[in-house]
């Protein structure tokens, strides 16, 4: 008896899919690419924050310099005719009687002076501290007086409590300006009614020249990405590893 075997000539389908080794290789490569993408994004984001902060500091610098030119006596906020106190009349412990302090400045002289002098307070760039009528703020003949607002107000009021990153004096109701280094959990910093994208930023601050080295050291400071103040060192105008510093007259 003859047994016939029929073998199909139709090709068998090839095995599909990946081996375990191939899958491990693909997963490893994808992980490396993802890490590189995240690092690249973080770098771009950090550079963007740095560039925006420097641009904003330049805006504040230009506003302060224009304020100084308009004063006619080279006075920055808190100096000369814009002194927060009544020192010109021999009463340095009294608040300037000609200023129209807002309610958040407090009720007594010491509270008003501390509020007015706070490094993070830029209120004189937004409103005429003397509270004069518009036609009395600026002298068209001499081109002197208050000719603001020198900045467009965006940020809400700033409340600084103990333990704030800069070690600034505690104060509430400051007319501050938030930087771009977002940190909604920063200790000691609380903003009210902030507009995006400023929510959670740290305040810029203006430091006057207080030493006797005959160098103009008035400067604007941003805490930078590490959220701490490293101090001014021997040269107040040199940036350091932690902070962004912009001197006004150098």
144-196 confidence digits (pLDDT tens)? 999 999 998 766 788 888 888 777 889 999 999 888 876 555 678 888 765 55
Q: What is the side-by-side order of every strand in the sheet holding 219-222?
A: 205-207, 219-222, 244-247
**pTM of structure:** 0.77
- Within a domain: residue 173? yes
Judged on CB neighbours under 10 Å (0-12, 13-18, 19+), 59 is middle
Q: Are 53 and 222 in contact (CB under 8 A)?
A: yes
> Binning pLDDT at 50, 70 and 90, where does residue 118 land?
very high
- CA 241 – CA 224 distance, rounded (Å): 9
Q: What is the DSSP letter of 236?
A: T
Per the listing, tokens 């400023």 go with 198
Q: Which range, of 5-14, 71-80, 107-116, 206-215, averages the lowest pLDDT?
A: 5-14
- Within a domain: residue 54? yes
- Within a domain: residue 31? yes
- Within a domain: residue 66? yes
Q: Look at the chain and report how many structural domains it folds into.
A: 1
- Within a domain: residue 151? yes
Judged on CB neighbours under 10 Å (0-12, 13-18, 19+), 21 is exposed
Half-sphere exposure (CA, 13 Å, Cβ side) for 93?
0
| CA 186, chain centre distance (Å) | 13
CA distances from 186 to 57, 68, 183 (A): 21, 33, 6
- Within a domain: residue 141? yes
- Within a domain: residue 35? yes
- CA 181 – CA 199 distance, rounded (Å): 10
Range(s) of the domain holding residue 227: 23-247
3-state secondary structure of 95: strand
- CA 61 – CA 67 distance, rounded (Å): 10
- Within a domain: residue 1? no
> How large is the average pLDDT for residues 95-102?
96
pLDDT at 91: 96
Give the count of beta carbons closer than 10 Å to the beta carbon of residue 215.
Answer: 13
């Amino acid at each position: 008896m003859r047994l016939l075997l029929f073998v199909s000539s139709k090709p068998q389908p090839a095995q599909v899919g990946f081996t375990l080794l191939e899958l491990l290789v693909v997963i490893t490569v994808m992980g490396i690419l993802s890490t590189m993408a995240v690092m690249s994004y973080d770098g771009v984001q950090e550079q963007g924050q740095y560039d925006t902060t420097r641009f904003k500091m330049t805006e504040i610098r230009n506003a302060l310099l224009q304020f100084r030119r308009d004063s006619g006596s080279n006075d920055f906020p808190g100096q000369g005719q814009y002194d927060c106190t009544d020192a010109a009349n021999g009463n340095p412990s009294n608040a300037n009687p000609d200023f129209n302090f807002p309610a958040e400045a407090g009720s007594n002289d010491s509270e008003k002076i501390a509020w007015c002098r706070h490094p993070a307070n830029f209120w004189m760039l937004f409103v005429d501290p003397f509270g004069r009528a518009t036609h009395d703020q600026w002298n068209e003949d001499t081109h002197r007086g208050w000719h603001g607002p020198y900045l467009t107000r965006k940020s809400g009021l700033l409340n600084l409590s103990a333990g704030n990153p800069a070690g600034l004096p505690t104060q509430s109701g400051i007319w501050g300006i938030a930087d771009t280094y977002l940190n909604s959990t920063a200790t000691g910093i609380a903003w009210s009614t902030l507009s995006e994208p400023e929510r959670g930023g740290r305040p810029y601050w203006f430091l006057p020249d207080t030493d006797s080295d005959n160098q103009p050291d008035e400067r604007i400071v941003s805490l930078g990405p590490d959220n701490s103040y490293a101090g001014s060192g021997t040269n107040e105008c040199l940036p350091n590893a932690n902070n962004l510093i912009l001197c006004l007259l150098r």
